[in-house]
């Protein structure tokens, strides 16, 4: 028979003290959150009869997660980051903020401060022999008006599925740029076709996914922050049509409106016209931003990021 003590007055008082309820220092918000975490944790221990061995395994897991910097990956893999999108979508719907390109998860691999250029950029440093990709599109408001001077902040993985900064073998800001749209709201860039991302196979995220019988793969994708004065900041990404993981993304980022067709062009004349010597790829994708007068909503959500200023 299960022994339960979490509801006794002594244990409740004990965790109220552990949460700092008996002092007037610190943060009342943090106290409330920690108290809830502790109260729910001891209920879980009792409900699921978590053994001390399992408890200490979990403690060690947190240590491993932190030492490998994978907490951001785990929250994506467990669907919590996608859940936040669903919650914000529901809040938006209730507030009447509808229309525009859907949001989807940022993931943990953005690096702030990528080089800024006007209208166009080349994202790759020429070291990765991937298929050349030309991507272009227009940023508009929900009435279809082009947004000149919008910032398209783009980042993606290389052909090995890894990101510069986190993969020290790549040059600084490789496959990361900020592009200001032209008078017609257009942006364009040259890069290479990215590969899908996979969780580090020996890392704690994949270790847990294995226990859930799940893979840790993402389809090939390109991340974007799109911003413009007077408009809501958009965090989104496109996932490439045809990828085997398009509808089986371990991070649940694929949304129907965010699937981008990728066209591979074999014609040598078209390649020559583009200044490349072989088969290349092309993606066209437009973004639509919702209006807002709120300055906060025009900025990206605050969180700790690499090189954030
Ligand atoms: Fe990514």
Distance in Å, CA 165 to ligand 1 centroid = 13
Distance in Å, CA 88 to ligand 1 centroid = 20
Distance in Å, CA 233 to ligand 1 centroid = 18
Residue 74: closest CA among 199, 194, 176? 199
In order of their start, the domains of the chain are 94-298 (2.60.130.10)
Distance in Å, CA 249 to ligand 1 centroid = 11
Distance in Å, CA 174 to ligand 1 centroid = 14
Distance in Å, CA 236 to ligand 1 centroid = 10
CA distance 304 to 69: 12
Distance in Å, CA 156 to ligand 1 centroid = 6
Distance in Å, CA 110 to ligand 1 centroid = 8
What pTM does this model have?
0.95
66: which 2 tokens? Answer: 């932190």
pLDDT digit string, tens, across residues 72-116:
999 999 999 999 999 999 999 999 999 999 999 999 999 999 999
pLDDT digit string, tens, across residues 132-189:
999 999 999 999 999 999 999 999 999 999 999 999 999 999 999 999 999 999 999 9
Q: Is the pLDDT of residue 251 over 70?
A: yes
Distance in Å, CA 215 to ligand 1 centroid = 16
37: which 2 tokens? Answer: 């975490």
pLDDT digit string, tens, across residues 2-42:
799 999 999 999 999 999 999 999 999 999 999 999 999 99
Across the chain, the runs of DSSP E, i.e. the strands, are: 116-118, 120-122, 132-141, 151-156, 176-180, 186-192, 221-227, 234-240, 259-260, 263-265, 280-284, 287-289
Q: Is the pLDDT of residue 308 over 90?
A: no
């Amino acid at each position: 028979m299960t022994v339960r003590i979490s509801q006794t007055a002594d244990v409740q008082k004990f965790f109220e003290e552990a949460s700092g309820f008996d002092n007037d220092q610190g943060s009342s918000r943090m106290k409330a959150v920690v108290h809830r975490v502790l109260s729910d944790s001891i209920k879980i221990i009792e409900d699921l009869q978590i053994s001390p061995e399992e408890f200490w395994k979990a403690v060690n897991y947190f240590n491993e997660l932190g030492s490998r910097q994978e907490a951001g990956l785990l929250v994506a893999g467990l669907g919590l980051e996608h859940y936040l999108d669903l919650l914000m979508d529901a809040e938006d719907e209730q507030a009447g903020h509808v229309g525009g390109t859907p949001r989807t998860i940022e993931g943990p691999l953005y690096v702030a401060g990528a080089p800024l250029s006007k209208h166009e950029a080349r994202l790759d440093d020429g070291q990765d022999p991937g298929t050349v990709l030309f991507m272009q599109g227009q940023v508009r408001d929900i009435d279809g008006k082009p947004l000149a001077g919008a910032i398209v902040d783009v980042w993606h993985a290389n052909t090995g599925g890894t990101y510069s900064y986190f993969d020290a073998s790549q040059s600084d800001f490789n496959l990361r740029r900020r592009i200001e749209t032209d008078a017609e709201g257009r942006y364009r860039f040259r890069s290479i076709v990215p590969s899908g991302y996979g969780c580090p196979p020996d890392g704690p995220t994949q270790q847990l996914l294995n226990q859930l019988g799940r893979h840790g793969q993402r389809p090939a994708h390109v991340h974007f922050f799109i911003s413009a004065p007077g408009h809501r900041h958009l965090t989104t990404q496109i996932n490439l049509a045809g990828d085997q993981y398009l509808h089986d993304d371990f991070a649940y980022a694929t949304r129907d409106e965010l699937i981008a067709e990728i066209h591979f062009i074999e014609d040598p004349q078209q390649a020559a016209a583009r200044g490349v010597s072989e088969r290349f790829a092309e993606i066209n994708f437009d973004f639509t931003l919702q209006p807002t007068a709120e300055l906060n909503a025009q900025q990206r959500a605050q969180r700790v990021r690499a090189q954030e200023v």
